[in-house]
A and B are shown apart, each in its own frame.
Chain A
Amino acid sequence: MARDFGFNRATVATAVLLIGLALVPAFAALFDNPFLVTMVNRALIFALAAVALDFIMGYGRMVSFGHAAFFGLGAYTVGILSTHAAQDLPLIFGWTGTNEALLAWLLAMLLSGLYALIVGLISLRTSGVYFIMITLAFAQLVFFAFVSLSQYGGEDGLALWGRNTLAGIGLDHRVGFYYLCFGLLLAVWYLLHRLVRSRFGRVIQGSRQHELRMRALGYNPFPYKLTAFVISGALTGLAGALLANNNEFVDPSLTSWMQSGNFLVIVLLGGLCSLVGPIYGALALLLMEEVLIAMTEHWQIILGPVLILVVLFFRGGIFGVLSAGGGRHD
């Protein structure tokens, strides 16, 4: 009974959260604070990446410390394509890039997915700490690659000439873009929600719980894990493409190990293996940062210990506490 109650409480909380998120632009208008929309929008984009990470980390126990690579690849794809389009500069085979989201974002997902395929092919043959270290190293590779792109600003990054257009409609409208990101987050969440419950999801979850048993049942987990990893990478690339539009700026720090760490923080803070948890996690981290920055410029000296306390005493994250005992698998 307690579990049922917890489940209801979590469902109610999530419904309230989603309605609240839908009303953010209205609040912003009411209090005449348009910045609020951009800020929460950023959290939604990070949540999208973190939901994709939770998919492989929570359900498949693939602890990737390199998801910033896919994030950065997505963002740079949009940045580079739109720069070429704006200046009418040939990029490849005389093609001058594009500012159309339908094409640019798809390419962003394709490229991040492709890199995830390469990283996955090598790293998924290992597990545990090896996997953590290798994904981290492959993200560093992308980081230094972006630093070396001096024609796209190198270390200083690249300012976009403007946001993408979606089927010809400009994305400059702050509220319109907010709802687009919100809609994409919900769509990705629903997609992954279906995925983890499908036959494919069963194989992924079974491999997390007992890989040897899966082999004894006749499964070879590798191709399934690789597929999940590529899906996660591509969706993180989509998040990167959105962030490039939100910030109208990309730089190598999107690909730094700190960024990968942030994604891990969001997932664990929100609640591992819940898919919805990362949305709480992204909002909580954002809120925490805003509050701490207002207190001191040395806010990380507080954030660090807070994270340690979360790990030690707040297992299951926000969603885990809400659903009281559900969510987390050990």
Chain B
Amino acid sequence: MQLFLEQMLNGLQFGVTLLLMASGLTLVFGIMNLINLAHGSLFMIGAYVGATVVARSGSFFLGLICGMGAAAIAGMVMEVAIMRRLYRRDHLDQVLATFGLILFFNELVRMVWGRQPIAMSTPAWLSGSVEIIPGIPYPEFRLAVIVVGALVIGLLYLLIMRTRLGMWIRAGASDRETIGALGVNIRLLYTLVFGLGACLAGLAGVMAAPFLAVQSGMGENILILTFVVIVIGGIGSIKGAVAGALLIGVADTLGRVYLPPLAALWLPPAAASNLGTSLASMLIYLVMAAVLAVRPQGLFGGAHGS
């Protein structure tokens, strides 16, 4: 029971990371109609810069700021140099160009940080445990990730729904000409939105780094899971993104914990651990297939166009 509760929270934590990624991706897709495969690279940049700054300075907070900042800057440079030329292009062109970006960034981090994964430590002031329910301790850092992630998502929601900037963003999504006529600088707005999405990816990267091997290619693993979240939830649905992220976060985490011992009931230990781990990896895709078989538009999606 204790293990189960702990793993549920771990799943929640992973779900929050996925939700941060999904928000940025959806924001950019919803407003600029751009599919950005390099969103995972921004996550990776956040993780690498965060881990490096934490290691050098010893300050987790500084690492967090630098990781988010680096991702945001990389995102905005990307937008100005490449993405804005792709908004009116086919999704196929966007996929190919951002695939090129992935190759570039993955090689870049190999050149700067080498091929070996680097590790990131959790800050000392968050390395204890708290008893969430009497008798059940849970690591403070993981709890902090959940709280910060939830807060940021909440703030993002308020920003989009309640502020003037958010109104522009929503208007820009539906009607580029009108918003242009209002005297809003559409180009700058798009760059800022892209930067915001990148910043969220950077935040997710830094917060997830202590639990992952920080290495070249890490961004794509999370990107593909984020796609699954979006597909399950339904594109453009906030409720759907939350539900999808939590479902995938929990399913992935629980699968990794419970499937290997389950497989061991039938198989020799070595084979069981191997099969269990891959079954856990396959589990989320099977969940996705099951959801889509019943609801092609995702859990909360309306009718969707192309």
List residues of B (52-100) whose CB comes within 8 Å of A's CBs.
Answer: 82, 85-86, 89-93, 95-97, 99-100
- The answer to whether A133 touches B271 (Cβ under 8 A) is no
Given A133-B231, A138-B285, A307-B100, A127-B306 contact (CB < 8 Å): yes
- The answer to whether A265 touches B99 (Cβ under 8 A) is yes
- The answer to whether A134 touches B231 (Cβ under 8 A) is yes
Total inter-chain residue pairs, C-beta < 8 Å: 138
- The answer to whether A144 touches B281 (Cβ under 8 A) is yes
The reply to whether the CB of A301 lies closer than 8 angstroms to some CB of chain B is yes
Cα distance A4–B100 in the bound complex, in angstroms:
34
Which residues in B have their C-beta under 8 angstroms from that of A125? 292, 296
Of the listed stretches A90-98, A145-153, A166-174, A228-236, chain B binds A145-153
The reply to whether the CB of B102 lies closer than 8 angstroms to some CB of chain A is yes
The reply to whether the CB of B224 lies closer than 8 angstroms to some CB of chain A is yes
- The answer to whether B95 touches A65 (Cβ under 8 A) is yes
The reply to whether the CB of A140 lies closer than 8 angstroms to some CB of chain B is yes
Q: Say how far B289's CB is from chain A's closest CB, in angstroms.
A: 6
The reply to whether the CB of A137 lies closer than 8 angstroms to some CB of chain B is yes
The A contact surface, by secondary structure, is helix
Which residues in B have their C-beta under 8 angstroms from that of A298? 107, 110-111
Which residues in B have their C-beta under 8 angstroms from that of A306? 100
- Return the chain A residue nearest B275 by Cβ: A148
Which residues in B have their C-beta under 8 angstroms from that of A299? 107
The reply to whether the CB of A116 lies closer than 8 angstroms to some CB of chain B is no
Residue count of chain A within 8 Å CB distance of chain B: 46
Which residues in A have their C-beta under 8 angstroms from that of B107? 298-301, 304
The reply to whether the CB of B286 lies closer than 8 angstroms to some CB of chain A is yes
- Return the chain B residue nearest A118 by Cβ: B289
Q: Say how far A16's CB is from chain B's closest CB, in angstroms.
A: 27
Partner of A138, one of B91, B289, B306: B289
The reply to whether the CB of A57 lies closer than 8 angstroms to some CB of chain B is yes
Which residues in A have their C-beta under 8 angstroms from that of B264? none
- Return the chain B residue nearest A144 by Cβ: B281
The reply to whether the CB of A126 lies closer than 8 angstroms to some CB of chain B is yes
Cα distance A192–B104 in the bound complex, in angstroms:
34
Which residues in A have their C-beta under 8 angstroms from that of B35? 129, 132
The 3 residue pairs across chains A and B that have the minimum distance between CB atoms: A148-B278, A128-B306, A307-B100
28 contacts between A and B (CB under 8 A): A125-B292, A126-B304, A127-B304, A127-B306, A128-B91, A128-B306, A132-B91, A140-B281, A140-B285, A141-B289, A144-B281, A144-B285, A148-B274, A148-B279, A264-B99, A268-B93, A298-B110, A298-B111, A301-B103, A303-B100, A304-B100, A304-B101, A304-B104, A307-B99, A308-B82, A310-B96, A311-B96, A330-B90
